[in-house]
Chains A and B, each alone.
Chain A
Amino acid sequence: MTFTPRFKQCLVGASILAASSWSGLAMADIKIGFVATMSGPAATLGQDMYDGFMLGIEHAGGKLGGQKVEVIKEDDQLKPDLGVQIANKLIQRDKVDMIAGVTFSNVMMAMAKPMADAKVVFVGSNAGPAPLAGAQCNPYFFFTSWQNDQQAEGVGKYATDKGYKNVYILAPNYQAGKDAVGGFKRQYKGQVAGEVYTQVNQPDYSAEIAQMQAAKPDALFLFYPGGMGINFIKQMRQAGLIGKIPVLSVSTADGSTLPALKEIALGVTSGTFWGPDFNNPVNKKFVADFEKKFNRIPSQYAAQAYDSALLIDSALKKTGGKVDDKDALAKALRAADFQSLRGNLKFNKNGFPIQDMFVFEVAKDAQGRVSLKTIAKPLTNHPDAFVGECKL
């Protein structure tokens, strides 16, 4: 019997197939889908998250829990429908072991359903919408960022501590704006001098600034993420009001907007959970290496995602690199047995952090660059407001 050419072809084909599937087995890595908004006006946030996450993996030795990692990077373009498609693709086609990241709450809410249905382990690095902390909480979801209201709650407590009696509130007219105002009011005990909601992505705030000035408030509370915040603060500065009226803010003067604001924002205060000047060894290494690698000061978004990578690393170490037993993996994640950049981090039963909230002032750092300087810690071991609605 002679081998026909066709038979030889089959043999070659089969051996190639076998070889490739064999090599697939040999590279039994951990597959992580990292989803973030990496295009459009908010792309700075997603890029910082991705850079922070990858730096976290690099610092963990290029592996997580001793396992080789394959990170599948996905851009949701800030579109919830695309977020659902990506979640389904990562789960069904790529068969990822976990999903991490997610920049915006609307995308997060859309992706939560397919991820919950497939019982995927999720480590969130930014968005923390209230429903996922409350009624729709999930035993496989963990967040190394903050519940959306927590930052504003910190600033509200700070305003109360400072003895402000009459605060003027400004935010864009959409859910996140209303959530921030709700969070602020939960901890702020004084009077509200005015509460104004502006159109989303409004470029000019001259009219609102004049109205605010006429109301003569003790202080101003702002929630204007991204370009809106840059516009607002530039225009406040030109009206000569920064320094005259204290500006308290969340998500407005942060690592994503300061490079465009620089000196214009000096004196503005901002509330969050972490700042680049935190004096712990893990943070010092993170900030120094991030600056060396990317030539910019890391933002909180990079810090959150860096913590996500360290959290996954700590959990995989506990499970011995195994991801098949999801309950064991979730238990290991819940332990949060790693040194967070923020100092202390514990998970509540809904997978959101119980953490300290800080207030920062925009000031020059030791090298003369405009950055955030810690000035107060209004809330210690602060749980989110919705954990009571979580039935876990």
Chain B
Amino acid sequence: MTFNLVLAQALNGLQFGVLLFLMAAGLTLVFGIMSFVNLAHGSLYMVGAYFAAVIYSHSGSFMLALACASIGTFVLAAALDASGLSVLHRRDHLDQVLATFGIVLFANELVRVIWGNAPLYMDTPPWLSDSVSLLGFNYPAYRFAIIGAGLLVALGLYLLIERTRIGMLIRAGASNRAMVAALGVNIGWLNRFVFALGAGLAGLAGAMVGPILSIQPGMGEPILVLTLVVIVIGGVGSIRGAFYGALVVGVVDTLGRVLLPIWLRQVFDPSVANAVGPALASMLVYLLMAGVLAFKPEGLFPVKARGG
């Protein structure tokens, strides 16, 4: 493989990782701080994509579509939490899994009822629809935009968590929830904010993939599975872990898909390589997860609980 092909594939991996980070950041906070297993995170991503497609087609403004998708899912999640989802926080994990899985099925069906079975149309905004020539290689400008937007969000989250009062409370909630409540912080509102923030990020991710992916019922499930892998690898509740975990998963998944079949073809004959390569490549991130679980069960960047 030539140098610029490796570069292009590394960018692809980075872009995929950044997208996974947007999903994982919200989910890891909800897991870590609220101890709430939310399988419906993928549904919020789907709803974000639908919001963006509808608003973009009516207004013609892509930025407005992004803003409305993230704010819309933020508000939706806050409303859901206020209207009864918060009851689940006190239940055990199995109840949460069952209830949120029910929400997944319900959301897919609701989207189908409202927008129909056929996937929605959403094109790239004209100012991002070109490709950038990179050492003689065409790389889509839109994917650069995803990388840029994702890194900005990561920076913003870092500042929010590390430099603001609410960030301090979130960190405190992640390490000792009962103590935070005992100090007079309304943990219910803190939870609601964290849940809605995560949903907003998922909605933003959904809106950003609108132009590159098919917007259809059930689009959230494949990405949810990878998001869970990211969280396990990065360490539950850790934004930093979600960031590095997402990049690792993005790069390993992308390069694995490309390189494994090439390596296998050098060793086995093409028909065997064609059969084994894709199967092995699709298992790679799960093997990685199993490896991390075996050697660092807390994940690569676990949240340090202070004072026991």
Interface of A with B (CB < 8 Å)? 39-41, 43-44, 47, 173, 195-199, 201, 203-204, 206-208, 210-211, 213-214, 226-228, 230-231, 234-235, 237-241, 256-257, 259-264
Contacts and interface: CB of A to CB of B under 8 A. Distances in A.
Nearest to B262: A211
Interface in B110-147: 112, 117-121, 123-124, 129-131, 137-143
B257 A257 contact: no
B254 interface: yes
Nearest to A256: B118
A241 B112 CA distance: 32
Contacts of A263: 123
Contacts of A47: 117
B131 to A, nearest CB: 4
Interface stretch (B31-39, B163-171, B181-189, B206-214): B206-214
The 10 lowest CB-CB distance pairs between A and B, nearest first, are: A230-B214, A240-B131, A227-B214, A238-B140, A260-B119, A206-B12, A43-B117, A173-B278, A210-B8, A199-B282
Contacts of A230: 119, 213-214, 216
B117 A213 contact: no
Contacts of A204: 12, 16, 212-213
A235 B212 contact: yes
Contacts of A173: 278-279
A203 B127 CA distance: 24
A207 B12 contact: yes
Contacts of B16: 204, 206
Interface stretch (B88-96, B191-199, B217-225, B299-307): B217-225
Interface residues of B, number: 52
Given A41-B217, A206-B12, A214-B5, A227 B119 contact: yes
Contacts of B209: 203
B138 A241 contact: yes
Nearest to A232: B214
Given A195-B274, A262-B123, 7 more contacts: A173-B278, A199-B281, A210-B9, A227-B119, A237-B129, A238-B131, A256-B118
B214 to A, nearest CB: 4
Contact of B121 (A197, A206, A262): A262
Interface string B1-19: 1100100110011011000
Contacts of B217: 40-41
Contact of B140 (A40, A214, A239): A239
B138 A41 contact: no
Where chain A touches its partner, the secondary structure class is: helix
Contacts of A214: 1-2, 5
Contacts of A231: 212-214
19 contacts: A43-B117, A44-B117, A173-B278, A195-B270, A197-B274, A201-B222, A203-B222, A207-B254, A210-B12, A210-B137, A213-B137, A214-B2, A230-B216, A231-B214, A238-B140, A241-B138, A260-B118, A260-B120, A261-B121
B182 to A, nearest CB: 44
A259 B118 CA distance: 8
Contacts of B9: 207, 210-211
Contacts of A235: 140, 212
A196 B278 CA distance: 8
Contacts of B120: 260
Given A203-B213, A206-B143, A238 B119 contact: no
Given A238-B140, A261-B121, A40 B12 contact: no
Contacts of A43: 112, 117
B211 to A, nearest CB: 7
A173 B118 CA distance: 24
Q: From B119, B129, B211, B255, name the one whose CB has the most chain A CB atoms within 10 angstroms.
A: B119
B121 A239 contact: no
B249 interface: no
B258 interface: yes
Q: From A203, A241, A262, name the one whose CB has the most chain B CB atoms within 10 angstroms.
A: A203
A231 B58 CA distance: 22
Contacts of A206: 12, 15-16, 140, 143, 254
Given A208-B257, A235-B140, A235-B212, A198 B278 contact: yes
A228 B138 CA distance: 22
Interface in B254-301: 254-255, 257-258, 261, 270, 274-275, 277-279, 281-282
Contact of A260 (B143, B214, B255): B214
B138 A213 contact: yes
A47 B270 CA distance: 40
